[in-house]
Structure 1
Amino acid sequence: MHMDLPLVFSVTSGKGGVGKTNISVNLACALSEMGHKVVLLDADLGLANVDVLLGLAPKYNLFHLFHDGMDIKQILFETPYGFSILPASSGVSDMLTLSTGQKLDLLEAMDYLEGKINYLIVDTGAGINDNVLYFNLAARERILVLTTEPTSLTDAYALVKVMHLNHDVNRFRVLVNMVPNAKEAKLVYEKLYLACDHFLSGISLDFVGYIPSDPEVRTSVLNQVPFYYEAPESPASRNIQEIAKQITSWEVASKLDGNIKFFWKKLLFQEQSLV
C-alpha cells in the first residue's frame, strides 16, 4: 500500500456495549500481522477503554496533547501486538466535546503520522454526540457495529440518519457482533437495511461480516489480551481475519481526500462556515 495516504476508518455504533473497542483492537492485531503499519486512535475521549482492554498503562494520552502541549510522538504508545495506540483520557468531562482549537491541535499532531502508517483505526464513542459525528466524518470508511439487541438497531439507525441528513454521508459498512451464526447476522443486517431503504434514500450499507458469540472472546477480555492473540484458531479470530482481508481491498483515495490532514481541514472549514 502507498504509505503517503493512510486509510482512515472508524469503528462506530449508535449504542454502547456492542463490542466496538474489542473489534477495533482485534482488527488492529490482524492488520498488523499482515505487515501493515497501524495506529488505533481511542476517540472515546472522556471514557478511554482501549488501554484497559489491552491491560496497558500508557503514561500520556490525548489530554496531554490538548492541555500540556505535548508532542504526539510522546503520546503514541506501542503495544506488544504490533500496532500503536493514541490513548484517550478517562473521566475527564471537558474532553467530551472538542473545541475547534482542539480539533486543529489534533489535526496538526496527526501530520506526523502521514507517510508512516497504512491504517488509522478510529474507535469512536457511542451515540450521536459532537465527537462521534466529528470522527465519523473524518474517516473515509465507517464500520457500524450492530448486535441482536433492538436498541442497537434503533441507535445505529439514528446515527446513520444524522450522518446522512446533516452531513451527507451515505456509505456505511456493517459488522454484526455477538451472534450465534451467519444466518442470524444477516437477519440483523437486513433489519437495518430495510429501515434505511424505507425511510432514507441513497444509503449504501455493505455487510462486511460478523463475529460469533464465542466464550474465548469473553475470556480474553477478562485476561486483557486480544482474542486474536489469545485464541488465534477461534471462530471469532478467523472472522476478524476475514474482515481485515476485506479492509485491505478497500481503496485508498489517490486524490487528496484519502489524506488525514486534508479530510480534517475540510471538516473544520465546514464547521467554521456554519458558525
Structure 2
Amino acid sequence: MDQAQTLRRMAARKRPVTKSVAKVRTLAVTSGKGGVGKTNLVVNLALEMARLKKKILIIDADLGLANVDVVLGLNPQYTMQDVIAGTKSVAEVVLKGPGGIKILPASSGVSELSNLTKDEKLMILQELDSYEMDAELVLVDTAAGISDMVLYFNMAVQDRLVVATGEPTSLTDAYALIKVLVTRHQEQSFKLVVNNVRDEKEAKLVYRKLSMAVDHFLGSVSLDYLGFIPSDPSVTKAVMQQKPLVLSYPHSPAAKAIRELALHLLTAPTGDSGGNIKFFWRRLVDMA
C-alpha cells in the first residue's frame, strides 16, 4: 500500500464523537543497559497496579527486542507497524492480558514515525486519538540505551523510572542515559529502582554511586530512590514458565518488593500534573 492509499484509508475511517479525555499518567521504564530485568518489572508492576483496581496500558517500545508478550505468554498478530501502515486500527492491535491489563505491541513500527511526512503524522495522530483508551496509567517499556526512540519516549512521558543493577556497566550506562536527557533535552527529574541485588545495603550503595555522579557532573537533577528488587530464583522460574512472577510466585521476596514499588508509584506525585494520553501521543509523534 503506497502513502496516498494509506492516507485515504485512514481518513475514510469513521471517527467516534470526540469526548473529553481524562488525565492519564505516563511512565517510561527505561535503562542504559540491557539485561537488567526492565521488561519483567514492567509486566509485574502492571499486574500489581491492576490488582489495586487501576486500568493499565503497556506500550512495548523495545523496538529491537519487543518481548512483553513473551513474558505474558501472548502471541500478537498485529503491532503498531500495522497502524502506521494504515491496515489496522489501534483497537485492533491492542492485546488484552491477565488482570485486565492492555498491551500495545509497538514493534519496529514506532521507529517509522520519523520517516513520515507532516500530513502522515497528522493522520496517525487522528488514528491514535480515535482510540477510546480506558486507562489511568500508561507504562512504556523502552529499549535500553540512548537511541533516538528511547529518548523520544523518555521525553514524551511525565515520569522516568530508571532500572539499574549493581554491575558497573549498568551504572555507567544508566548515568549516560540520564546525562543525555539532561544535557540535550533538559529533563530534570528521574526515579531509580535497583534490581537483582542481595539486600538494601547493596541497593543503597548503587544509588549513592549514581547519585554522586549525577550531582557532581549534572548539577541540580532530581534522582529519587524508590527501592530495590532482591535477587530471587523465583524470577528465573517465572520467566522460564512464561508466567508473570506476581501471579506464579506471589509470596516470593521479589514479588513482595514489586508490590511495594507499585503502591509507591501510584501514590507518588507525578513529574507533570498536566496532560493526557493525546498530549503524550502528540509529543511522541512531533518529536519523531
- Give the TM-score of the pair, scaled to structure 2: 0.85
Structure 2 residue 45 is the aligned partner of structure 1 residue 9: no
Q: How big is the alpha-carbon RMSD for the aligned residues of Structure 1 and Structure 2?
A: 2.2
Selected match of 2:204 from 163, 180, 186? 186
Shift of residue 231 of structure 1?
0.6
Please tell me whether residue 227 in structure 1 is matched to residue 242 in structure 2. no
Unaligned ranges ≥5, structure 2: 1-20
Output the CA distance in 2 between the equivalents of 1:118 and 1:139: 14
CA distance in 2, matches of 1:169, 1:35: 31
Q: 1:85 aligns with which of 97, 103, 109?
A: 103
Q: How has the CA–CA distance of structure 1 residues 122 and 112 changed in structure 2, closer, same or farther, with 3 Å as cutoff?
A: farther
Contact 1:11 1:145 (C-alpha < 8 Å) held by counterparts: yes
**Is 2:163–2:194's contact at 8 Å kept on the other side of the alignment?**
yes
Matched residue of 2:140: which SS? Answer: strand
**Contact 1:66-1:105 at 8 Å conserved across structures:** no
User: Is structure 2 residue 57 aligned with structure 1 residue 39?
Assistant: yes
- Is this contact kept in 2: 1:16–1:127, CA < 8 A? yes
Alignment match, 2:146: 128
What is the deviation of 1:60? 1.1
The Cα offsets for residues 42-73 of structure 1, whole Å up to 9 and x where unpaired, read as 01123211111111101111121112441000
Distance 1:164 1:254 in 2: 16
Aligned equivalent of 1:164: 182
Q: Which runs of 5+ in 1 are unaligned?
A: none
Percentage identity across paired residues of the two chains: 46
Q: Secondary structure at the match of 1:99?
A: helix
Say which of 82, 99, 103 aligns to 2:114: 99
Aligned to 2:262: 244
Contact 1:6 1:114 in 2 (8 A): no
Q: How many residues align?
A: 265
The alpha carbon displacement at 1:115 in A equals: 6.2
Determine the C-alpha separation between the residues in 2 that align with 1:250 and 1:162.
25
Distance in structure 2 (CA, Å) of the matches to 1:45 and 1:254? 26
Take 1:149 and 1:218, find their aligned partners in 2: how far apart are those partners?
18
Change (3 A) 1:244 1:132: same
- Name which of 252, 262, 275 aligns with 2:279: 262
Q: Out of 205, 216, 223, which is 1:205 matched to?
A: 223
8 Å CA contact retained: 2:159, 2:272: no
1:150 equivalent in alignment to 2:168: yes
With structure 1 as the length reference, what TM-score do the two structures score? 0.89
Deviation at 1:250, TM superposition (A): 2.8
Task: Check whether the contact 2:125–2:285 (CA below 8 A) recurs between aligned residues.
Answer: no
- 2:181–2:187 CA contact under 8 A, matched in 1: yes
Contact 2:113 2:285 in 1 (8 A): no
Q: Give the AA of the match of 2:240.
A: L
Residue 141 of structure 1 is aligned with which of 159, 178, 186?
Answer: 159
2:114 is matched by which residue type in structure 1? S
Report which stretch shifted further, 258-267 or 227-236: 258-267
Q: Where does residue 73 of structure 1 map in the other structure?
A: 91
User: Whole-Å Cα distance in 1 between the matches of residues 38 and 178 of structure 2?
Assistant: 16
Which residue identity lines up with residue 67 of structure 1 in the other structure? A
Deviation at 1:109, TM superposition (A): 4.0
